[in-house]
Structures are given as C-alpha cells and as structure tokens.
Amino acid sequence: MAEKIYPPSKPTGNLPFPATKPHLYNHSRPVYRPHPHRTRRTFFCCSCCLCITFTVTLLIVIAAAAGGAAYVVYRPHRPTFSVSSLHVSQFNLTSSNKLSTKFNFTVTVRNPNDKIALFYDPVSVSFISKGVDVVDGALPAFTMGKSSATVLRAVVAASGRSVDEKSGLKSDVRDKKGLGLKIQMDTKVKAKIGSFWTRKVPIRVTCDGVRAAAPAGKTAATARTSGAKCKVDLRMKIWKWTV
C-alpha cells in the first residue's frame, strides 16, 4: 500500500518578502530596541562629573588667589635662630664609658615679620656629637611680637650616659680635642595674622658648626659659636611620613 504524502501546512500570518533575519532564524523572537532611559542616565552622570570638577577647580583658584593676596600683603618670613654663647662647665668620661656633661647656653630668636606675631610651645633641645646624644634639655614657651627678638638661656646637664667604644667621641674627650657639636631644637609655633590665628606647626631648628673644648679643672670652657649656622625647617606630617 502506497504511503500518503501530505503537503506542508501553510504558515500563519503574512511573511515579508524577502524574509528578514528574525523571520529566517526565529520569527517569534522580538526585535531588540535600546531603552532610551540609559542615555539619559549617562548624560546625567556626565553632567554631575562636570559640575563637581568645575566646583573643585573654582575653589582651588579662589584659595590660590586668597593665599597669593595674603602673601603680598603680609610677606611672611621664617624666624631665625642663632647660638649666642655656649659654656662647657663639665665634660667627663669615666673608665666605664659613662659621660657626664653640663652646658650653659644662650639662643637668640628673631621674628622678622612686621605684621605677624609668633607663639612658641616649650622647646626640646638636644646636643649631639658624632651621632651620640650628649645631653638633652628644654627651653620654656615664649611669645614674640612683631619685628622683635628674644634671648633664651638655659643650663642642661646629664650624667651616666653610655658611650660606644667605636665612637670617635671617646678619643676626643680623652685627648682634650675640640669637640664638634650639633644643637637640635624641636617645638611648635602658631601665628597671629591680623585677627586670624593659624594652627600650630611643628618646626625643627638645627645649628651646626659649634666647636667646644673640655673644661680645664673647674674653669668652664667657652665654645666657639661664630661659625654656627642654624636652619629652620617645617615638620609637616603626611600620612606616615614627617617631612
């Protein structure tokens, strides 16, 4: 018996001619149309970024202009430090490498600003020779008016400090040679500019070129300070580093 062959069923609906890709592969799949709200969202984000960038730039320009105007008006300068005198009344090294010292020193501080007053916290002082911290001391807090100078005096002493065998300081003391000293002072200072007060800023003063000698007997030895030069550096802390 012969098998019957039926014709294919007619497709429903009207198909375009020639057929498009959606009809060739899957005529029931809807045609993709992009959503217009994404374009609006992107435009909004770009506008916000531009506004923020413009605002930050404007604030930076205003701050720079204000700082420049303040600098022109007040002409701020760093204070200056100088070692006026240093007398060594004791400088002994025992057989067990224990050092005993006593210094009497005078420091002159000048404020060169004629429109700015300066206010200092107590000052920590260290005398260092060949990497050895010989003696530490302190100066009291003080205030400096506009275009003024202040003279600070202090006596610092220490005993029983250990000196390394490898240090050249040991031979200098025993041979009564001239002793090179570095004086390091650390403090914080704030300024009054007109009616405006600044925050406290740490500063470090380093004075090199001081030459002292061990005293002979009970007579104090006078150090040579004419060649001493002091440098004032701001100690700004940025994250974990101090510069």
What pLDDT, on the 0 to 100 scale, is given for residue 14?
58
CA 242 to chain centre: 5
96 and 34 in a single domain? The answer is: no
Q: Is there a single domain that holds both residue 109 and residue 178?
A: yes
Give the per-residue pLDDT at 20: 58
Same domain, 113 and 31: no
User: Residue 6: inside a domain, yes or no?
Assistant: no
Do 25 and 52 share a domain, yes or no? yes
- What type of residue sits at position 198? T
Specify whether 89 is located in the same domain as 181. yes
Domain limits at 196?
A: 80-242
On whether both 64 and 106 belong to a single domain, the answer is: no
In the chain, the number of structural domains is 2
Per-residue pLDDT of the chain (243 residues; tens, 9 = 90+): 555 555 555 555 555 555 555 555 555 555 556 555 556 666 667 778 878 887 888 788 777 766 665 555 556 788 999 999 999 888 777 767 777 888 999 999 999 998 899 999 999 999 988 788 888 999 999 999 999 999 999 999 887 677 766 666 666 666 566 678 899 999 999 999 888 898 999 999 999 988 887 777 677 788 888 888 999 998 765 444 444
Domain assignment present for 11? no
Q: Would 119 be classed as within a structural domain? A: yes
pLDDT at 36: 54
The verdict on 174 and 195 lying in the same domain is yes
- Which pTM value belongs to this model? 0.67
User: Does one domain contain both 108 and 215?
Assistant: yes
Question: Cα separation of 111 and 151, whole Å?
Answer: 12
120 domain residue, yes or no:
yes
Q: Render the burial of 15-34: b for 16+ CB within 10 Å, e for the rest.
A: eeeeeeeebeeeeeeeeeee
> How many Å apart are CA 23 and CA 109, to the nearest integer?
93
H-state helical runs in the chain: 21-26, 36-74, 168-174
Residue labelled with tokens 């506004």:
51
Shared-domain flag, residues 57 and 98: no
Q: In 10 A of CB 107, how many CB atoms?
A: 23
Identify the pLDDT of residue 241. Answer: 46
